[in-house]
């Protein structure tokens, strides 16, 4: 005889669904969270609430959250690790869950201190893999001759120059429109969470974009993309990824040599030249200084490698 199907515990109770939606709205409005972050938070909380439903045999409700204990949080962590979630991803998921629970405890007036005291797993934050200045320059030189159509080669070079010379994310460079040209001494960039920052523009970056626009067959219009695909639409990040793959294959660079590695290179080279972390944080558009501090690890690792290679007792 076939066993009856288990109830669909993924379906949230209406009150819980409303609470989750409201919390996400608050995060987006008051914490300046990006759409990508809100999507990730929603997935994190749905995983947690679905676990509670299976763990307790009934859908979680705002009222039932008042009974959460440290054992429930540990069981959730164990279940997530058992299905293959890494320590870093689990730590991010638990952070989202704790934020939601703190908001719920304030809103509903119950004490969740026991559940909130659960620690996240420790993990080693991976260091960015920047290119050396010579590797970055060689990449730009390779891109400049990497396409049979001159204006396309000039376009790809201009995009890559903005990534390395201004520390832009690939999406930020490709979202530029005709209205952003001509570049002045600084460029206003809208990054993650709709945060705006002002990024100085090096003459070499301005010249690279000017060369591309001089050759581009598509007219420059304020409301149209600055960087065009061959059919005139907005250039896609996949094209730049492909350009970078070809360049690193030709130069023998590692797989970590991606378009985003040029942004890492921007930060690392500034730090090596004496730039302070606060300034680099502002130029990169990081919401938290702790995100920028990872580049000090890159610099320390480089110094140690040089020391071990050069010291007579190394």
Task: Give the mean pLDDT of 99-112.
Answer: 90
Determine whether 197 is an active site residue: no
Name 68's Cβ contacts closer than 8 Å, sequence gap at least 6.
Answer: 101, 112, 114, 115
What pLDDT sits at residue 121? 57
- State the catalytic residue, choosing from 92, 192, 234, 302: 192
The architecture (CATH level 2) of 133-310 comes to: Orthogonal Bundle (1.10)
What pLDDT sits at residue 153? 96
- State the catalytic residue, choosing from 33, 93, 155, 169: 169
Tell me the pTM: 0.57
Determine whether 263 is an active site residue: yes
Residue 154 has pLDDT above 70, yes or no: yes
- State the catalytic residue, choosing from 155, 197, 228, 286: 286
User: What letter would DSSP give residue 311?
Assistant: S
- The string of DSSP codes covering 83-130 is TT--HHHHHHHHHHHHHHHHHHHHHHT---HHHHTPPPPP-PPPPP-P
What pLDDT sits at residue 272? 62
Determine whether 286 is an active site residue: yes
194-237: per-residue pLDDT in tens?
778 888 888 899 999 999 999 999 999 999 999 999 999 999 99
What pLDDT sits at residue 141? 94
266-269: Cβ within 8 A, 24+ apart? 266/163, 266/164, 266/165, 266/166, 266/167, 267/128, 267/130, 267/167, 267/292, 267/295, 268/128, 268/130, 268/295, 268/298, 268/299, 269/130, 269/133, 269/136
Of 299 and 80, which is predicted with more confidence? 80
Of 125 and 102, which is predicted with more confidence? 102
**55, 72 Cβ separation under 8 angstroms:** yes
Cα–Cα dist 209/123, whole Å: 41
What pLDDT sits at residue 303? 40
In degrees and rounded to multiples of 5, residue 190 shows phi and psi of -100, 115
Q: Where in the chain is the domain with CATH 1.10.443.10?
A: 133-310
Q: Where in the chain is the domain with CATH 1.10.150?
A: 14-116
The number of beta carbons lying within 10 Å of the beta carbon of residue 141 is 13
**201, 187 Cβ separation under 8 angstroms:** yes
Task: Give the mean pLDDT of 130-140.
Answer: 87
What pLDDT sits at residue 117? 78
Domain 14-116 in CATH 3.30.110: no
- State the catalytic residue, choosing from 93, 155, 228, 263: 263
Name 202's Cβ contacts closer than 8 Å, sequence gap at least 6.
Answer: 165, 166
50-78: per-residue pLDDT in tens?
999 888 888 889 989 988 988 999 999 89
Share of the chain above pLDDT 70, in %: 77
């Amino acid at each position: 005889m076939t066993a009856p199907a288990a109830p669909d515990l993924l379906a949230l109770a209406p009150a819980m669904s409303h609470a989750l939606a409201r919390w996400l709205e608050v995060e987006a409005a008051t914490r300046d969270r990006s759409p990508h972050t809100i999507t990730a938070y929603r997935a994190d909380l749905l995983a947690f609430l679905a676990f509670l439903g299976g763990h307790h045999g009934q859908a979680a409700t705002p009222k039932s959250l008042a009974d959460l204990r440290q054992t429930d949080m540990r069981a959730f962590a164990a279940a997530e690790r058992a299905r293959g979630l890494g320590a870093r991803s689990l730590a991010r998921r638990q952070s989202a869950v704790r934020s939601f629970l703190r908001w719920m405890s304030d809103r509903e007036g119950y004490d969740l201190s026991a559940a909130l005291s659960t620690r996240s797993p420790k993990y080693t934050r991976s260091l960015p893999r920047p290119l050396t200045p010579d590797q970055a320059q060689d990449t730009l030189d390779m891109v400049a001759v990497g396409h049979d159509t001159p204006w396309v080669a000039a376009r790809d070079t201009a995009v890559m120059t903005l990534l390395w010379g201004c520390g832009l994310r690939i999406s930020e460079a490709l979202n530029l429109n005709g209205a952003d040209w001509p570049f002045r001494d600084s460029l206003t960039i809208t990054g993650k969470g709709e945060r705006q920052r002002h990024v100085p523009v090096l003459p070499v970056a301005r010249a690279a974009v000017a060369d591309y626009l001089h050759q581009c067959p598509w007219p420059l219009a304020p409301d149209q993309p600055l960087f065009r695909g061959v059919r005139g639409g907005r250039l896609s990040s996949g094209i730049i990824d492909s350009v970078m793959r070809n360049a690193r294959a030709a130069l023998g660079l590692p797989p970590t040599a991606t378009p985003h590695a040029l942004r890492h290179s921007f930060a690392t080279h500034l730090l090596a030249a004496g730039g302070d972390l606060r300034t680099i944080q502002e130029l990169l558009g990081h919401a938290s200084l702790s995100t920028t501090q990872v580049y000090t690890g890159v610099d320390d690792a480089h110094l140690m490698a040089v020391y071990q290679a050069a010291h007579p007792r190394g």
